[in-house]
């Protein structure tokens, strides 16, 4: 029946998408959304349709792992970023303290070496 009407299920699904949804797929397919989002699939070449199909496959793969759409969870991201920034600051502080300790140890060892050298002068022969 669809063959007689020269329509396919894919073309019908494409036509039901909003322009924004089509534009997202076109962008993922590296096709100019302003040119391709308004086109029917039948107006595109086989390569263009294949690029869109591959973009859809990749998008579905990504959406499979990103399932959370709850607004409160999305708003909590900022709090997690602040925690991440605090962690970075703490790491920097710990690193700085470690450097200060090493500098102190270097000075102490240098002082000890100077004291040893002062007590037993090395002959210049």
* Burial of 29 from C-beta contacts in 10 A (0-12 / 13-18 / 19+): buried
DSSP letter for each residue of 48-106? HHHHHHHHHHHHHHHHHH-----HHHHHTHHHHHHHHHHHHHHHHHHHHHHHHHHHHHH
Q: Would you state the pLDDT for residue 70? A: 86
Residue 44: inside a domain: yes
Query: Looking at the whole model, is its pTM more than 0.85?
Result: no
End-to-end CA distance of the chain: 107
> How many distinct structural domains can be found in the chain?
1
Q: Is the pLDDT score of 19 beyond 80?
A: yes
Neighbours of 31 (CB within 10 A): 20
Q: Is the pLDDT score of 38 beyond 90?
A: yes
Which of 19-23, 65-69, 100-104 is most confident? 19-23
The answer to whether 52 touches 23, Cβ cutoff 8 Å, is no
Residue 16: inside a domain: yes
Residue 2: inside a domain: no
Confidence of residue 123 (pLDDT cuts 50, 70, 90): low
Selected residue with higher pLDDT from 101 and 73: 101
Confidence of residue 118 (pLDDT cuts 50, 70, 90): confident
Q: Would you state the pLDDT for residue 66? A: 82
Residue 13: inside a domain: yes
pLDDT in tens, 50-94: 999 999 999 999 888 887 888 888 888 776 666 666 677 788 888
Q: How far apart (Å, rounded) are the C-alpha atoms in residues 29 and 26?
A: 5
Question: Who's near 32: CB < 8 A, 6+ residues apart?
Answer: 26
Residue 48: inside a domain: yes
The answer to whether 37 touches 22, Cβ cutoff 8 Å, is yes
Residue 73: inside a domain: no
Q: Would you state the pLDDT for residue 85? A: 67
Domain that residue 55 falls in: 9-65
């Amino acid at each position: 029946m669809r063959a007689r009407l020269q329509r396919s299920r894919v073309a019908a699904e494409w036509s039901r998408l909003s322009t924004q949804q089509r534009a997202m797929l076109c962008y993922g397919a590296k096709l100019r959304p302003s040119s391709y989002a308004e086109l029917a699939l039948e107006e595109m070449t086989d390569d263009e349709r294949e690029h869109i199909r591959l973009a859809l496959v990749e998008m579905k793969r990504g959406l499979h792992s990103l399932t959370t759409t709850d607004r409160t969870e999305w708003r909590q991201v900022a709090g997690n970023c602040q925690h991440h920034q605090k962690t970075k600051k703490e790491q920097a502080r710990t690193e700085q303290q470690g450097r200060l300790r090493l500098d102190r140890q270097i000075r102490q060892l240098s002082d000890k070496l100077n004291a040893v050298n002062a007590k037993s002068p090395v002959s210049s022969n």
